[in-house]
Amino acid sequence: MDSYYIQMELCSESLRNILKHKPKEFDRQSGESMNCYEYFISCEIFREILECVQYLHELNPQIIHRDLKPHNILIDRNGRNGRFVKLCGFGLATVHDKSKHTADVGTIGFIAPEVVEVYNRIRQISLV
**What share of the chain has pLDDT > 90, as a percent?**
51
Structural domains of the chain sorted by starting position, each given as residue range(s) with its CATH number in brackets: 13-96 (1.10.510.10)
pLDDT tens for 50-109 read 999 999 999 999 999 989 999 999 998 888 877 899 999 998 888 888 766 565 677 777
CA angle (21 as vertex; 67, 32 as ends), nearest 5:
100
pLDDT band of residue 4 (cuts 50, 70, 90) is confident
Residues annotated as catalytic (active site), given as ranges: 67
Task: Label residue 84 exposed, middle or buried (CB < 10 Å: 0-12, 13-18, 19+).
Answer: middle
| CA-to-CA dists, residue 4 to 7, 16, 36, 71, 73, angstroms | 10, 26, 41, 21, 19
